[in-house]
Amino acid sequence: MEKMGRGWRTALLAVALAIALAACGKQQETATVKPVQVRLVVPKQVEADASIPLKAVVTQGKEKVNDADEVMFEIWRDGEEKNSQMLKAHNGKNGIYTAKMQIKRAGTYTVQVHVTARNMHVMPKTKIAVK
């Protein structure tokens, strides 16, 4: 009877150890996933009615992300966020996504890029002055 008790204890200890090792492996795997990063490249100042180039450079670690699920540029005049305009970006490869637009009215505008890639969503923004 005592021998069976030790066998069960050994089996339970082995199962607990296997579960603990599996959990540690998952934590290490998750910790090594690098976040998607986006560098938004937009001119700081432009003339009204000029063609404005918008560019987002998407990376994950040192890798260029060419397989983003969605990249959209959102633009609005300061104080008029409810009237924002969305532009779908073109994938130019090498992790570069682009669009062009024109703004007719002078003022300060916010440009925000919405990038969904590899189960992450990144939304950096910057300002642009239109003269």
Identify the band that residue 5 occupies on the pLDDT scale cut at 50, 70 and 90.
low
What pLDDT, on the 0 to 100 scale, is given for residue 17?
A: 59
**36-130, superfamily in CATH?**
SOR catalytic domain (2.60.40.730)
Please compute the mean of the pLDDT values over residues 34-44 and round it to a whole number: 96
Query: What is the residue extent of each domain of the chain?
Result: 1-32, 36-130
C-alpha 18/C-alpha 79 separation (Å) is: 57
Please give the model's pTM, rounded to 2 decimal places. Answer: 0.74
What pLDDT, on the 0 to 100 scale, is given for residue 2?
A: 52
Express each pLDDT in 56-99 by its tens digit: 999 999 999 999 999 999 999 999 999 999 999 999 889 999 99
**113/24: higher pLDDT:** 113
